[in-house]
Structure 1
Amino acid sequence: MLKRTLTAAVAMLAIVFTAPVKAQGPAPASVHGHVNDAAGAVLAGVQVKFTTDKTSEAKDRKFPISVDTDSNGDYKASVPPGDYLIVVFKGTVQADYQTVTLKAGDDKTINFDMTREEYMKSLTPEQRQQIEDFKKKNAAASSANAVIGKLNATLKQVRADLAAAAPTKGDVSSDITQMKQAVDAKPDTGLLWVTYGDTLLAQGDHLAAADKAAGKPSLTDEEVVKEYTDSAAAYKKAIELDSAASKPNTAEIAAANNQMGTALARSGKIDDATAAFEGAAKADPTKAGMYYKNEAVVAFNSNQNDAALAAADKAIAADPNGPDPYWIKGQVLIAKSTFDQKTQKLTAPPGCVEAYQKFLELAPNDPKAPGVKEVLTSLGEKIDTKFKAGKK
């Protein structure tokens, strides 16, 4: 039994000592770095390839290890120790190369900076000139982008200021200064001129409100008139720029015409304002109803009744569901009523009652509705808020 036990122990030892031992290879080297072109721009998505074959022709050379640069132009690779030729490929074109000896466990940074003097000297004079031209264009583009970024920030702030000031007709003089600087910085942009016009218009309203509170007619205030006049000029500049564009934005042109009409009307230039509203309707027929309504309001408030009636009719034709043009039409026509001495009754001209009834149908809760009802009652008409106009 002892003999068998010893024999088994020897056998076990034999198994332990004859088991194969796995060989350990040298630790790989870590390589990382950055790649940029001769103009200093990062090269993203290019290949960084490794080979120990330095003797073969370039077209025959094999690259067993290849990694891509990321969006920042950075790369990293793990490679066995050895003497390497590292080549940067842009597609099939070899853009740059370096040779390096990597030892086990190395952690090396190998950048491919193609702006280095050694690389630049390897280029032809024509290639170096192309790079210089590119740098100039890139610098100009970067400068322009910086300006645009600043202008966009200014526009955002000014629009917020205008919205905040609108309910109380607050002072926006600081915004005028900002927008004047903006149009001076980039005078070929219609949008900037429109916003500049908006600030001038808002400041004119601010000053006019102060005149009203003081019992002073705003049209006798030279400062008020100047703000409105300068505002109209800014809108006109925007219209000229947008109209000359290769693809004019008709909606923006129409909106600028509409704003210009408002500024002109508030400076007392009613005929010019009418022309601006007509231009807005022509530029954007989809919103013609609104623009003709504005024209009718300006004419009516200026006691130009015939012009107001004509504009109201155009507004109604463009948008039959807008209530205000019907009210203006009714007001103009009621003034043309005749009084019969025998019957002691007022007779309104054709279209007056229909306009008033349609206004009540569309806006029964409008503050002007009670006055309209009184007029209809005085004419002996039954008030019908479900009035439907007959066929013409």
Structure 2
Amino acid sequence: MFAQLRRLLLFSSFVLLVAGCASAQTTMLQGDVKDQTGQPLKGAVIVLDRTDIKGHYQVKTDKKGHWLYMGLPAGTYDISCQVNGQTMDKVSGVKSGYGDNPPVDFDLRKVVAQQAQAKQVNASGELTQEQARGMSKEQREQYEAQLKKNSEAIKKNKALDDANNAGQDALKMATADTDKAKKATDYQAAVDAFTKGTQLDANQVVFWSGLGEAYYGLGLTQTGDDRTKSLDGAADAYKKAIAIHPEEASLYNQLGNIYGAERKIPEATDALNKAAQLDPTMAAKAYYNMGANLVNSGNYQQAGDFFKKAIAADPNYADAHFQYGVCLFGQAQTDPKTGKPVVPQGTADEFQKYLDLKPDGPHAEEAKANLQALGEQVQT
């Protein structure tokens, strides 16, 4: 019976954590919105898209036209103002840092006037008399050249936004899908959208990280060569994202998870170690993931070492305690005289610690059964 229980423990399944970008501290951004008459605009949607790494947030203005977003990770954002589903204005490259940040305001009266003027110039291809008055020939030529350049930039930015929005929407649908075939279709749509984004601008990390996530999700719906191809595509995409943003810990963490899914344990270990080095706050999850990768490849003793590291990084990490206990239990020997298991010292302590931290957790019954198999009384 003990041998059977031991085999069950050794082959207990893992849910590999996909740790996002952990943020030990957060920031705040705020501003005001005025409508086309110059009055405070209530209910405008302020959309904050993080550009240095994927992140999407939104908030509505109050009756005074004021908006405020607290708990925002520090980073670089494109902030847009939407009214009735239409983007009215956008501010790019807003830096959100610790301390006081300048307000980000939107005055739709000015926006509408600028749009009307730009539309007039674009339609005619020439400056109005008022605009041209007082300009030299050289100044007019420079102005018109800049106008053409701006028009091209606007078109490109719209194409970039469209590609990103299509990719993000497809990812959301894929995550919500319960049908495997539909999930695969939506992940492929996300792959196509983010691929288009990388072709438009290969220096945008949001497209590469999105492409990596899409390929990873697609790969998990596939088997055989198709799965391998998609997971390789995911790894390549995250490596390109890292080349652009080499100090972002979450990118290494995601890359490590992909290598883990491919059973490339040395590569997974290197990537997750780098994630823990860059951001100690996510070290526990990174080390836990390494342990999970090693268990999935059958390296239980090495896995135990990483679960122990996860516990050292976060002593209250309940799942790490349980899995470390399982790894220790897997090293048990049967006493030939008594037939009872002889396990490394501290094995029972790990199962009891899990129960202390998560008495109703998903592994609670397993932990209790393990303690009983070891002849230990469950403490409540």
TM-score tier by shorter-chain length is 0.5 to 0.7
TM-score calculated relative to the size of structure 2 = 0.61
SS in 2 for 1:329: helix
Of 209, 233, 236, which residue of structure 2 is paired with 1:194?
A: 209
- The correspondence of residues 322-337 of structure 1 with structure 2, limited to 5 A, is 322-337=317-332
- Larger C-alpha radius of gyration, 1 or 2? 1
2:159 aligns with 147
**Are the aligned partners of 2:160 and 2:200 in contact in 1 as well (CA < 8 Å)?**
no
- The correspondence of residues 345-356 of structure 1 with structure 2, limited to 5 A, is 345-356=340-351
**Are the aligned partners of 1:161 and 1:175 in contact in 2 as well (CA < 8 Å)?**
no
1:182 aligns with 197
Of residues 223-232 and 262-271 in structure 1, the stretch that sits farther from structure 2 once superposed is 262-271
Residues 1:300 and 2:332 are matched in the alignment: no
**Are the aligned partners of 2:341 and 2:374 in contact in 1 as well (CA < 8 Å)?**
yes
Distance 1:161 1:206 in 2: 14
**Are the aligned partners of 1:166 and 1:202 in contact in 2 as well (CA < 8 Å)?**
no
Of 224, 235, 248, which residue of structure 1 is paired with 2:238?
A: 235
**Are the aligned partners of 1:196 and 1:234 in contact in 2 as well (CA < 8 Å)?**
yes
1:310 aligns with 305
Extract unaligned runs of 5+ from structure 2. Answer: 1-108, 115-124
> How well do the aligned residues superpose, as a CA RMSD in angstroms?
2.7
SS in 1 for 2:222: helix
Distance 2:355 2:295 in 1: 19
- The correspondence of residues 236-315 of structure 1 with structure 2, limited to 5 A, is 236-243=239-246, 250=247, 253-315=248-310
**Are the aligned partners of 2:291 and 2:306 in contact in 1 as well (CA < 8 Å)?**
yes
Letter aligned with residue 273 of structure 2: E
Of 358, 362, 368, which residue of structure 1 is paired with 2:363?
A: 368
CA 1:182/1:148 → structure 2, altered by over 3 Å: closer, same or farther? closer
Letter aligned with residue 351 of structure 2: Y
Residues 1:161 and 2:173 are matched in the alignment: yes
Residues 1:223 and 2:201 are matched in the alignment: no
CA 1:224/1:124 → structure 2, altered by over 3 Å: closer, same or farther? same
Residues 225-264 of structure 1, C-alpha deviations (whole Å, 9 max, x = no match): 1111111111111111112xxxxxx5xx222222222221
SS in 2 for 1:207: coil
Deviation at 1:365, TM superposition (A): 2.6
2:220 aligns with 205
Letter aligned with residue 341 of structure 2: L
SS in 1 for 2:334: strand
CA 1:319/1:122 → structure 2, altered by over 3 Å: closer, same or farther? closer
**Are the aligned partners of 2:249 and 2:275 in contact in 1 as well (CA < 8 Å)?**
yes
Distance 2:339 2:172 in 1: 57
Extract unaligned runs of 5+ from structure 1. Answer: 1-69, 75-112, 209-220, 244-249, 386-392
Distance 2:209 2:126 in 1: 46
CA 1:261/1:119 → structure 2, altered by over 3 Å: closer, same or farther? closer
2:9 aligns with none
Distance 1:119 1:153 in 2: 36
Of 143, 153, 156, which residue of structure 2 is paired with 1:131?
A: 143
**Are the aligned partners of 1:356 and 1:372 in contact in 2 as well (CA < 8 Å)?**
yes
Letter aligned with residue 278 of structure 1: N
Distance 1:363 1:122 in 2: 76
Distance 1:123 1:318 in 2: 66
Letter aligned with residue 209 of structure 2: V
Distance 1:167 1:365 in 2: 30
Letter aligned with residue 370 of structure 1: E
Distance 2:177 2:307 in 1: 31
Percent identity for Structure 1 against Structure 2: 29
**Are the aligned partners of 2:310 and 2:320 in contact in 1 as well (CA < 8 Å)?**
yes
CA 1:152/1:375 → structure 2, altered by over 3 Å: closer, same or farther? closer
Of residues 363-372 and 374-383 in structure 1, the stretch that sits farther from structure 2 once superposed is 363-372
Deviation at 1:194, TM superposition (A): 1.0
Letter aligned with residue 365 of structure 2: P
CA 1:360/1:119 → structure 2, altered by over 3 Å: closer, same or farther? closer
Residues 18-74 of structure 1, C-alpha deviations (whole Å, 9 max, x = no match): xxxxxxxxxxxxxxxxxxxxxxxxxxxxxxxxxxxxxxxxxxxxxxxxxxxx73559
CA 1:151/1:118 → structure 2, altered by over 3 Å: closer, same or farther? closer
Which structure has more relative contact order (CA 8 Å, sep 6+)? It is 2
**Are the aligned partners of 2:260 and 2:293 in contact in 1 as well (CA < 8 Å)?**
yes
Letter aligned with residue 150 of structure 2: N
